[in-house]
Amino acid sequence: MTLGPRRLWRQSAVYALGLWSTSLASAVLTPVYTRCISADQYGVYELLSRTTDIILMFARMGMIMAVLRFFFLVEERERPTVIGTALTWSIGAGLASGLSVWAWSEPLSRRAIGAGYAPELAIMGWTVLFELTYLTAATLLRVREQVALYTVAAVSRFLLAIAANMILVVWLRRGLWGIVVANAAASGLSALAMTAYCVSQIGLKFSFGQLGRLLVFGAPLVLTGVPTMITNVGDRYLLNLFASAHEVGIYSLATKVRMALSLAVFDPFVFVYAAFIFSIAKEQDAPCIYARTTTYLAMVAIPVALAVALFSPEVVRILAPASYGAAAAVVPVALLGEFLWGIAAQFEIGIYLTGHTMWKPVAAIVASVMSLAGNFLLIPRYGPLGAAWAYVGARLPYCIVLYLCSNRLYHIPYEWRRLATVGGCGLLCYVLGSQGASLPEPLSWQLRLGALAALPLLLFALRFPVQEEMGRLRSALQSAVGYMRHLGQLDSPGPG
């Protein structure tokens, strides 16, 4: 089944509901965590979570992307075996990971986090099993495009997490331990339900031949994951080393806010786009579709990033008490890094289409080297803000190297002028709007809202929309006006 561009954006919107429900649990619970535990313990929880992510990366072995690729390449009768093989691997790898973390929790906690957190780390280790099986089983819903069922599953997971945290963290006041147990319980129940559904639909067929093909494709992605993890989470460990867990807590809150960009735009889009790039690859105009999609992605992401950056002080005040106030200054820089990370997925299409995944580690290694250098240089002097700038300094060369490697394998005519236009206008509006930070409250809000509203006006003034897009916009406006007139005629009283 071919996933066209319009369907891509429509399904991205539907998948967004499911992905938002998962990330919304983190957003909703952040004010609870910041008020029920100290900033130091919040930083410890971030280190526990990131340590689990690292273990999950090794256990996953690139299986999710491998399944999405081979599912569409094999004959239909072999497709259940592809997913069943990946699910069997995930269960085995998850069990091995959980047992290993449980056995080595004491020395691992002492070296990576700090003494005294071995019980929490042992529990977090089992979430590797839960997350790995859930993600692999949910791949069945993705390839079948069962967006409604995926959304129901994600919303149920969200409600489980909220309920468990309300009981253990808010009611019983179990602090950090309660947070860890509540989230592990919600993850485990969700994984059990999703795995049961997957097995009931396709069974649990296994093939060593399919496993070999999946690992050959996915293993290089693990090599990419090692330097990627250095770039993505190494700053937390270095902040803990050079500063304190309190600084990790401040930085973690800023990263939670920056993730609004991924939550609103990149996560739902990339979730569907992974299947989209393979489903239209044989079409003659595929390169142009990829290029135009990149432009539209930037056009949607930049206004969201601008809004979050301009109102980051208010967002931080809502999410946390005054002791976290320093996070507001970190958010705009962190958002820039998040944008570069999200848009980078558009520059690796050729790597996936041609199967040359060994090139992705090249870009990831460059980014990790830049990240380490930036963190060692900037964190001792600037703390969390230095970590945010180091992240930006790592993501920019990552995008450049990905583009150079991928476009040699598969040429895509990116619309660089339009990308530069929307990026430059977004930056200009942020510079103007941020001047209101020191102004009295009513004037400050007016200036920032004015800067946000100026972005689309600037784009139209600079002729950002092409003629085809202007025609579609006029048609949409005419349809909207006609619909409103129709409603007005229905509401008007008839002759008496």
End-to-end CA distance of the chain: 55
Q: What is the pLDDT of residues 408-453, one digit of tens each?
A: 999 999 999 999 999 999 999 999 999 877 788 888 999 999 999 9
Residue 86 pLDDT > 80: yes
Nearest by Cα to 397 from 405, 408, 385: 405
Q: What is the pLDDT of residues 127-176, one digit of tens each?
A: 999 999 999 998 888 778 787 788 888 889 889 999 999 999 999 999 99
Task: Work out the pLDDT band at 496, boundaries 50, 70, 90.
Answer: very low
Task: Work out the pLDDT band at 183, boundaries 50, 70, 90.
Answer: very high
Nearest by Cα to 22 from 188, 161, 148: 161
User: What mean pLDDT value characterizes the chain?
Assistant: 87
Domains of the chain: which residue ranges? 5-414
pLDDT reported for residue 486: 53
Beta carbons within 10 angstroms of residue 260's beta carbon: 20
Segment 42-67 shows an average pLDDT of 90
* Amino acid found at 60: R
Residue 366 pLDDT > 90: yes
pLDDT reported for residue 1: 45
Segment 377-382 shows an average pLDDT of 96
CA dihedral 139, 184, 197, 28 (to 10 degrees): -70
Beta carbons within 10 angstroms of residue 432's beta carbon: 15
Nearest by Cα to 136 from 174, 92, 105: 92
pLDDT reported for residue 2: 46
